[in-house]
Structure 1
Amino acid sequence: MRKPTGLTARALAARAGWSESKASRIENGKTPPSDQDLLAYVTICGVPQDYEDLRATAHGIDEMYVEWKRLQRAGLKRGQEAHVPLYARTNRFRIYEPGVIPGLLQTADYATAIMNRIVTFRQIPDDVEAAVKVRMLRQRYLHDAHRHFGIVLEESALRSRFGGPEVMAAQLGHLLQIAVLPNVSLGVIPMATERIMWPVEGFWIYDYSQVIVELATAQVTVKQPSEIETYARMFAELVKLACHGQPARALIAEAIAVLG
């Protein structure tokens, strides 16, 4: 931010009333800046509109990028429990998943199949049974009429098999039941759809407070307002691609039929 202005660190520090060493420590990440420090910095650099994003970054830096090997070193239960307070304070969920049924909509058998594979692949302690119980308990929020769930799945999420045909049939049948809940909007993007928005990694938007993205190696938490807005726009474009109501349920029924 400073370099395009032509200011040196010494000049910026003088304008802010800081020592030169303080400016250097902030810029090199050695001293966490206060909110007042950040406001002074962006004001002097002529970009006050960046304050909220910078503030959100500073406040959320410890959870911004958390590697699975750190989060799951003791197993999967801890991660499931960590999201309970977030679910409790969220009223509007927007969820996009390209390849799996989201945890909020999973049956116990489907969740068990996926978690067993995670435990094997990542070579972590096996606490799948306990983790599944926590995931199932979190689903109580689906039946709270004061909360709203916008969910968009790629058709490939319906076709990707976990746990065998019987587990998949039960999972897809459960999805049909969830789809008719009055506080749930379930959309499915057909594979043959002409794309106006490319498939991306799965993401969850919690109100307008944060976005969680699951990568292969880490969980990413986004709290910068401008980035949350980008995910919200992306979700809106994906909603336009999805079919809802009876056409969506027909795609789910077709996925059940091909299981034989």
Structure 2
Amino acid sequence: MPISPSSSAQAAREAIAGRLRDIRKDAGLTGHELATRAGWHASKSSRIENARTPPSDEDVRTWCRVCGADDQADDLIAANRSADSMYVQWKRLQRTGSRRLQESRVPLYESTQQFRVYCSNVIPGLLQTEAYATALFALISRAQGTPDDSAEAAAARVARSKVIHKGEHRFALLVEESVLRYRIGDAETMAGQLGYLLTVMSLPSVSLGVIPFAASRSMWTLETFMIFDQEQVQVELLTAAVNIRAPGEVEQYAQAFTDLGELAVYGRQARALITSAIDAL
């Protein structure tokens, strides 16, 4: 079963803290001695070693300098930055709005060959119409208290999603049937969005499965996640984006995707569920 999506980020922070602790011990220093030589409050070294306070780049350099381990500073800083990027709050990512975030992911989308996407709350971003995305980004900005650039962000998302129509990419997407019924925007927006699903699922590179309400669950609903090749997973929480690269955890999400896919219907049956959702509008 997939473990907590923030676990790899915390594990990475704890690993860095452990390496810093080993460097201090190898130098024959106590935590108090290190803090004194660094000019820090006495408790700072303890907070860093116990992964309660993430160190800054300068903290790492100072730690290594005090311990006579300057040669390890660059590697530790790189690892620390990687851990910091694993769990990033949406407010930080969207502090100037959502458009830049959409644009920043274009290189990842263009380099990925196989996309596996599971959505339990909204239509997958790769399949969103501009009207639907605009309505969704407006909701997000209100909920997060971030600048509302919903129209610009939606245009950037649609531009990014053109990857579906070019190159040798493959897309396997799963949605819960409830996603087809959740009203984002007005009825016209939803009708256009659901109609677009019927169009795009006919593309040879796209596999769209719908997990029916009536499916006998062998896998419970999960948070929305995307698997990029077999290299990384992005999990979307309410407050943060979690980026997972640990091979074992990536494999767990891949297995969860396979299990969820076995619950889904495809082709004619999926079209019938989408058409039923349109009729319900």
Q: Report the TM-score range of the alignment, normalised by the length of the smaller protein.
A: 0.7 to 0.9
Aligned residue type for 2:212 = P
Deviations 1:156-207 (A, max 9, x none): 0101011111111110000011111001111000001100000010000001
Give the structure 2 partner of residue 61 of structure 1.
83
Give the structure 1 partner of residue 277 of structure 2.
255
Kindly report which structure 2 residues correspond to 1:98-247, keeping only aligned pairs within 5 A, or say none. Answer: 98-247=120-269
Give the drift of 1:21: 5.0
* Equivalent position SS for 1:212: strand
| Alpha carbons of structure 1 residues 57 and 150: separation in structure 2 relative to 1, 3 Å | farther
Aligned residue type for 1:122 = Q
Unmatched tracts of structure 1, length 5 or more = 2-8, 38-55
Aligned residue type for 1:77 = R
* Equivalent position SS for 1:63: helix
Asked if residue 91 in structure 1 is aligned to residue 113 in structure 2, the reply is yes
Aligned residue type for 2:159 = L
Aligned residue type for 2:253 = Y
> Counterparts of 2:276 and 2:105 in 1: how far apart (Å)?
33
Asked if residue 72 in structure 1 is aligned to residue 94 in structure 2, the reply is yes
Percent identity over the alignment is 46
Contact 1:94 1:205 in 2 (8 A): yes
How large is the RMSD of aligned CA atoms in angstroms?
2.8
| Alpha carbons of structure 1 residues 199 and 20: separation in structure 2 relative to 1, 3 Å | farther
| Alpha carbons of structure 1 residues 18 and 181: separation in structure 2 relative to 1, 3 Å | same
> Counterparts of 1:89 and 1:141 in 2: how far apart (Å)?
10
> Counterparts of 1:246 and 1:20 in 2: how far apart (Å)?
69
Give the drift of 1:62: 1.6
TM-score, structure 1 normalization: 0.80
Give the drift of 1:147: 0.3
Give the drift of 1:138: 0.7
- Count of matched residue pairs: 229
| Alpha carbons of structure 1 residues 147 and 154: separation in structure 2 relative to 1, 3 Å | same
Unmatched tracts of structure 2, length 5 or more = 1-10, 12-18, 35-44, 73-77
Contact 1:57 1:223 in 2 (8 A): no
Deviations 1:107-148 (A, max 9, x none): 111001111111222222121121111101111110125000
Q: Runs (4+) of structure 1 moved beyond 2 Å?
A: 17-22, 24-34, 56-60
TM-score, structure 2 normalization: 0.74
> Counterparts of 2:213 and 2:121 in 1: how far apart (Å)?
12
Give the drift of 1:78: 1.8
Give the drift of 1:224: 0.5
Contact 1:57 1:224 in 2 (8 A): no
